[in-house]
Amino acid sequence: MHKDRGCGEINLEDENKQITVAGWVDSWRDHGSLLFIDLRDSSGTVQIVFDKSFDPASHKLASSFRNEWVVQVKGLVKKRIAGAENPNISTGQIEIHSEHLEILNKAKTPPFEINSKNVEESTRLKYRFLDLRSSRMQSNMRLRHDVILKIHNFLSKRGFVHIETPILIKSTPEGARDYLVPSRIHPGEFYALPQSPQQMKQMLMVAGFEKYFQIAKCFRDEDLRADRQPEHTQLDFELSFVHQEDVLSACEDLYCFLSQEFSEADIEYPFPRIKFDDAIDRFGTDKPDTRFSVELKTLNKALSKTEFRVFNDVLRNGGLIRGIIVPSSELITRSYIDELNQIVIDMGGGGVIPISFDSGTDIDQLSIENVRSPIAKFLDSETVSDLINIFGATSNDIIFISAGDKNKVNESLGLVRMKLGNDLNLIDKEKMNFVFITDFPLFERDVENDNWKAMHHVFSSPTQETEKFLPSDPGKVIGNLFDLVCNGVELGSGSIRIHRRDVQEKIFSVIGYSKAEVTSRFGPLLESFEFGAPPHGGMGLGIDRLVCIFASEGSIRDVISFPKTQSASDLLWNSPSPINKDQLKELNIKPTTKEDKNEN
């Protein structure tokens, strides 16, 4: 070994010991006859002292150092003089006085300072091997390791078996596009990279393993957002002979344990269960952030008597009038309300209408003259009183109202709620609020294609009470479906799976799959159901998102070693990239560019 101790492992107990360390030059300071460098390795940093009067050769060599050079130092550990201690690092009470120095490798000047916080993300990704040296990224990667290790140990102790499933599988699209891999041995045929190990883990239940888990790589060719990557890491677990509550309990036991290990936040246990319809009604989304109490209210009845034409038209067409209330703030200016309007307009709505009251007015003595709103002239005292009672309003509050199509109103007000929560500091950022969303509809209507599609995926079972609506009335079918949400972020989803062939075929029928498609895509799974498939269920939970929360990062790219950009590009490897023509010929593939398509 080039070293016998990590730089960050040395302390006062090592005083007067001779130690060899090696690492990267993090910084250096020339004080004439004394030269100081901070030497960094994966364990931390330690201060090295080069004394010209004691070791002139090493002092001369060290004077040529530049940041990120790789060096080895042998020297004596000494206690720092009083007043020179550094309480910000673990080795801040000691330093190593060099007795021998060797340069292991020189380095070009890096394009950015390793621990700088002001580096463009594109530059960080292009030089990811340098970015990963930063204390932030080192910490994030080690946190990720620790989380995965804890998951392995936790589940293994509870009888789960870690089983790896194939990466090269058959293409069976599950909502997103598949990444395809051409077969050289079978010209014109393709493997797919798994969007999840869904069918295989169900077969493992049929195979009798009963408790399975895997840290699985999953691939989806879809548009990217801050919380999406073309490849992501997922905790997959599945259990046999279980009901929905058994799966939820297994999940919350694990996540409560992980939260206690990696967060100081107080966790409510057991996690609250909120039905899908209730989540939409209260928060405007099935991914609610419950760290603040602002909730949507329905105002159809309260505003039914106004002469405001927009409200009247909405009510006549069966629409919805809803609102939220927040404390008034100097931040809520005309231009800020314009921003809220734009959020609603972008979602297909007509905007928001603010209603506020003269500050300091006794809410019980409020008159219509104290109301400030673009629609104040359409309101009467009774309507204002109804709004105050519905929201529990005070004169220091402001109400925002939106009206229109039910889905658009809920979704847009849900976004307005989150913007207000963040901008007005209504959210307790120290909390971790886990919640299970349950009772999802099994199907949702695809208006564009005029057909039904699965809300989550086609393998989720209907509830016993609503299975009777298959296949005649799919919109009434509720699924044994559930999501785990934390602070407004979906961490994963799961379900009780279908384990009977006849029920699975009804689902395929509703979706509109032909018998040939069913046989081609799902034949082996359906066949396995005929050989004694037990009732089973499980979840797929995003590791990247969970670590992102524990690390208090804003993007999962900061907890992944070599992530892609939002355009699915790898800036380090310049990927995707063209492939050699000989390779393509060997695979019997002819590329088609945009220019080729235009010519045709």
Alpha carbon separation from 17 to 6, 53, 126, 596 (Å, rounded)? 14, 21, 41, 71
Alpha-helical segments (H) within 158-243: 198-206
Q: Where are the domains of the chain?
A: 7-105, 292-423
Return the number of other C-beta atoms located less than 10 Å from residue 321's C-beta.
24
Collect all residues with Cβ–Cβ distance below 8 Å to 168 and sequence separation of at least 6. Answer: 181, 191, 192, 193
558 contacts 144 by C-beta, under 8 angstroms: no
296 contacts 324 by C-beta, under 8 angstroms: yes
The strand order across the sheet containing 489-496 reads 161-162, 211-219, 231-240, 536-542, 489-496, 481-486, 434-438, 273-275
CA angle 38, 42, 43 (to 5 degrees): 80
Q: What gap in Å lies between CA 85 and CA 101, rounded to an integer?
A: 24
Alpha carbon separation from 556 to 227, 487, 542 (Å, rounded)? 6, 15, 10
pLDDT at 224: 67
pLDDT at 591: 82
The highest-level CATH class for domain 7-105 is: mainly beta
CA angle 431, 436, 438 (to 5 degrees): 155
Separation of CA 177 from chain center: 20
**Mean pLDDT for all residues in the chain:** 94
DSSP assignment, residue 222? S
Q: What gap in Å lies between CA 115 and CA 127, rounded to an integer?
A: 13
CATH superfamily of 292-423: GAD-like domain (3.30.1360.30)
pLDDT at 600: 45
451, two tokens: 């057909």
Domains 7-105 and 292-423 share a fold: no
Residue stretches of the chain with pLDDT short of 50: 597-600
Q: Which of 484, 426, 488, 434 is closest to 268 using CA atoms?
A: 434
Helix (H, G, I), strand (E, B) or coil at 519: helix
b (16+ CB within 10 A) / e for 493-520: bbbbbbbeeeebbbbbbbbebeeeebee
Separation of CA 121 from chain center: 18
Q: What gap in Å lies between CA 268 and CA 412, rounded to an integer?
A: 28
540 contacts 492 by C-beta, under 8 angstroms: yes
Alpha carbon separation from 497 to 358, 456, 535, 545, 559 (Å, rounded)? 56, 12, 7, 24, 31
Q: What one-letter code names the amino acid at 388? A: I
DSSP assignment, residue 317? T
What tens digit of pLDDT does each residue of 96-152 get? 999 999 999 999 999 999 999 999 999 999 999 999 999 999 999 999 999 999 999
β-partners of residue 105 are 70
Which DSSP helix (H) or strand (E) runs through 411?
helix 406-423
Q: pTM for the whole thing? A: 0.92
